[in-house]
Amino acid sequence: MAENDSDYNPSRACPLSEVSSWDLETDVIVVGYGASGASAALEAAVEGAEVTLFEVASGSGGTSAMAGGDIYLGGNGGTPAQRENGFEDDTEDFYRYMLMAGGADADEARVRLYADHALEHYVWLKEQGIPYRNSYLPGKVQAPGTGDCLIWSGNEDAWPYNETAKPCPRGHLPEAIGELGGGGRMLVDKLAARVEALGVDIHCDARVLCLVADEAQQVQGVVVRLEGQPRFARARRGVILCAGGFALNEEMVKKYAPVISRLGDDGLSAGHDDGSGIRMGQSVGGAAIHMDEIFTTLPIYPPASHVKGILINEQGQRFVNEDAYPGRVAIHCLRQVGDHIYMLVDDSIFEQPSEFSRIEIAAVGESWSEIESELGLLEGTLTSTISLFNRHAAEGKDPLFHKNPNYIKPLIDPPFAALACHIGQAFYPYFTLGGLSTRPTGEVLTVDAEVVPGLYAAGRTCSGLPRSGEGYSSGMSLGDCTFFGRYAGRAAARRDPASTAR
């Protein structure tokens, strides 16, 4: 039996020599029971491995269960929902879009695999019992909660993405009704039912304290707190870290993604995104990459009509095409100098902002110069921005930021309003995108791309498909969690420790 809890720390692996005897032995240990962990455990069990899963919370779900359940799918001529609604999504368009969304260091191998096999993944999800309608909701919607399936969930139709790949809606929501749809909860529940049916040994209220590694930093198991006691659990084939991101770890946020400190306490997390998975990976030489990248969003819609408004910074300047995915818009908001961001709308498009968004009316007036002065902006800033915008909007054009004509109209119908969209006022929820460097198989890599034997990671514990806040599209994270969770499960189950030893 292991010593005191406090002897263990995720950032320091326990030396194998300190393990006098194993309290528990299995083939594959999965850490975390969200969408990634469930997918990994499921697939490892299907491969015939003996699988043990440890989850720190009292049940399955993790942060995945808080999501709408949107999964980013397409290519291969289209999923049933795409085809039935007239979208023959070409694999290469899907590939190019995701590659661009991944940013400067998009993982080409991962994107290729995902693009080629997303339709198979859709079929697999259905086989696991996740219900999808073939219905389509056009326009700008988020988490509609109607049980409908296909939505535009990213920047597909927005500049500059629409110049790179033929636009196509690719967000796939499960058939779940209610606030946020409950789709994430349903997704994990269905996967968890399969995990349990396959006989995976599941321990909840079980915190993994650290890895156990031999002198060559080959991972041999974990130290886990079970019923209040630290126990040594051996993984003959591999340990898969599916323990989420680090949005709740203040120290990590400061050192890796300090921009989050501006966003307040709105981290999207079920309460355990403390970076422990990433920290354990680092303890055996795993590299944590793109740690500065975050997803955040500014929910300017609903109401969808507000997409026709324009966003300005404190200098009264526009800075982004407002019809981009709100995650992209939010990243651009973070880059502005000054403390204020406003959305300008006229009477013809104004609706009360959603309570959820915390966006409030900052000024109302009969003329734009009235609004400019009410906001305390420098005379001639907002007004010249509006006049330039309106001049081209009258022709359905936005030569400066290339907004899609569908969302362009001159803002000329008084009364006018400015909506306060800045940080500290509006809701900017966030989660982290940085994590361990891995192969598509989930194998954790050192900074020199050497495999750390016996260690795998999936979901937000790794830097996966979604690795750029600017390119994030809804459904990319859960798509990555489930798809590459499965790969990690298979790879760990198949590992022959003798062959990969250092």
Helix, coil or strand: residue 315: coil
36, containing H or E segment: helix 35-46
Among 128, 164, 315, 369, binds its own copies (CB under 8 A): 315
Among 187, 239, 287, 386, binds its own copies (CB under 8 A): 287
Task: Determine if 4 is a binding residue for its own copies (CB under 8 A).
Answer: no
The span from the first CA to the last CA of the chain, in angstroms, equals 28
Among 2, 13, 188, 191, binds its own copies (CB under 8 A): 13
What are the angstrom distances between the C-alpha of 498 and each of 27, 52, 218, 256, 502?
A: 14, 21, 11, 36, 9
Among 279, 308, 460, 490, binds its own copies (CB under 8 A): 279
C-alpha dihedral (75, 76, 77, 82), degrees to nearest 10: -50
Could you tell me the strand order of the sheet in which 136-137 lies?
71-72, 171-172, 150-151, 136-137
Binding segment for its own copies (CB under 8 A), chosen from 92-100, 134-142, 316-324, 416-424, is 316-324
Closer of 336 and 482 to its own copies (Cβ): 336
Binding segment for its own copies (CB under 8 A), chosen from 174-182, 191-199, 398-406, 424-432, is 398-406
Task: Determine if 99 is a binding residue for its own copies (CB under 8 A).
Answer: no
Binding segment for its own copies (CB under 8 A), chosen from 4-12, 68-76, 178-186, 404-412, is 4-12
Task: Determine if 254 is a binding residue for its own copies (CB under 8 A).
Answer: yes
Helix, coil or strand: residue 202: strand
Among 73, 149, 278, 458, binds its own copies (CB under 8 A): 278
- Scored b (16 or more CB within 10 A) or e, 300-333 reads bbbbebbbbbbbbbbebebbbbbbbbbbbbbbbb
Instruction: Tally Cβ neighbours within 10 Å of residue 420.
Output: 19
CB of 72 closer than 8 Å to CB of 153: yes
CB of 239 closer than 8 Å to CB of 211: yes
Task: Determine if 291 is a binding residue for its own copies (CB under 8 A).
Answer: yes
Among 83, 88, 450, 501, binds its own copies (CB under 8 A): 450
Residues that bind its own copies (rule: CB under 8 A) add up to a total of 61
Closer of 252 and 362 to its own copies (Cβ): 252
Task: Determine if 187 is a binding residue for its own copies (CB under 8 A).
Answer: no
Task: Determine if 284 is a binding residue for its own copies (CB under 8 A).
Answer: yes
Instruction: Tally Cβ neighbours within 10 Å of residue 361.
Output: 13
Binding segment for its own copies (CB under 8 A), chosen from 124-132, 181-189, 280-288, 410-418, is 280-288
CB of 416 closer than 8 Å to CB of 367: yes
Helix, coil or strand: residue 84: helix
Task: Determine if 446 is a binding residue for its own copies (CB under 8 A).
Answer: yes
Give the shortest CB-17-to-its own copies separation in angstroms: 6
Among 373, 381, 425, 500, binds its own copies (CB under 8 A): 381
Among 131, 258, 271, 396, binds its own copies (CB under 8 A): 258
Task: Determine if 31 is a binding residue for its own copies (CB under 8 A).
Answer: no
Number of alpha carbons in the 13 Å side-chain half-sphere of residue 440: 13
Helices (H), 133-197: 183-197
Give the shortest CB-449-to-its own copies separation in angstroms: 7
Give the shortest CB-211-to-its own copies separation in angstroms: 11
Among 3, 88, 251, 351, binds its own copies (CB under 8 A): 251
Number of alpha carbons in the 13 Å side-chain half-sphere of residue 236: 11
By CB under 8 A, name the binding residues for its own copies. Answer: 9-13, 15-17, 103-105, 214-217, 251-252, 254-256, 258-259, 261-262, 275, 278-279, 282-285, 287-292, 315, 317-320, 332, 335, 337, 378, 380-381, 384, 388, 391, 399-401, 437, 446-450, 502
